[in-house]
Amino acid sequence: MAWFSKKPRIATTPEPPEAPSRMQGLWAKCESCDEIIYRQELEKNLNVCPHCEHHLPWSARTRLASLLDPDTFEEFDQGLEPQDPLGFVDSKKYKDRIKSTRKALGENDAFVSGVGRIQGHQVSVGCFLFEFMGGSMGSVVGEKCARVFERAHELKCPAIVFSASGGARMQEGIFSLMQMAKTSAAIARFRAVGKPYISVMLHPTTGGVAASFSWLGDIILAEPKALIGFAGPRVIEQTIRQKLPEGFQRSEFLLEHGMIDAIVHRRELRDKLVQILGLIG
């Protein structure tokens, strides 16, 4: 055996892990203006930067808690868990990726759904968890979303879905793409009760989610500067070999071109929903 392949005779002592700082987690950095913000101040401001009004990511459960009347949210379908029908493997096995993400977040998949009230108005509601594999839509997410509309049909109440997704979940292949048709069909059945479906598009809402139920709302709202579209700007530019307009596929661009109904600041969203439900709910 060559000398350079032998193990060293002097044992090395591994360095002790760095002790976590007491300040860790107390501060956050704005993605837009790079200002450092005290996290408690940021949370009090609904995760909106107090310096530039940039809307930072906000957890689904916190969002629902702030928009719905206190103690009215009843969650459904918590037991639904994604499977691995294709035995998919990329850099990691799909089932292992699900397991580790579920353990880290304490959530079974990328969608929370149930029934609650907004200013007394009963609503069937669902919200994406973008932090769970980019909010990608697999068979469980599609099923839970379809049940939002089926529940609204049964209760004869409005439906509200908050979308934040990178699109269909590639690890489930055609099973994921089938959810586009399933959710759209559920909306078509829900139309019979004559109640509104309010679609709220968050950053980002793309791919198969944008191409199905997110665009089918009777009222379509969006947060400021949210990226909304099927394919991302970079993919489109590489495909058509042209430079896209400034702000292309951002909510402001879409509002200007009549693709959405309104851009609503996070602090004003509950009041806007109350107004809509009072008029057509």
pLDDT of residue 234: 87
The pTM (predicted TM-score) of the whole model is 0.88
d(CA 250, CA 204): 9
Dihedral angle over CA of 87, 93, 96, 102, nearest 10: -90
pLDDT band at 233 (very low <50, low <70, confident <90, very high): confident
* Beta strands at 228-229 and 197-206: parallel, antiparallel or unpaired: parallel
pLDDT in tens, 24-65: 578 999 999 999 999 999 999 999 999 999 999 999 999 999
Give the fold, CATH level 3, of 57-280.
Answer: 2-enoyl-CoA Hydratase; Chain A, domain 1 (3.90.226)
Domain spans, the chain: 57-280
pLDDT of residue 225: 95
Residues in the chain: 281
pLDDT of residue 24: 52
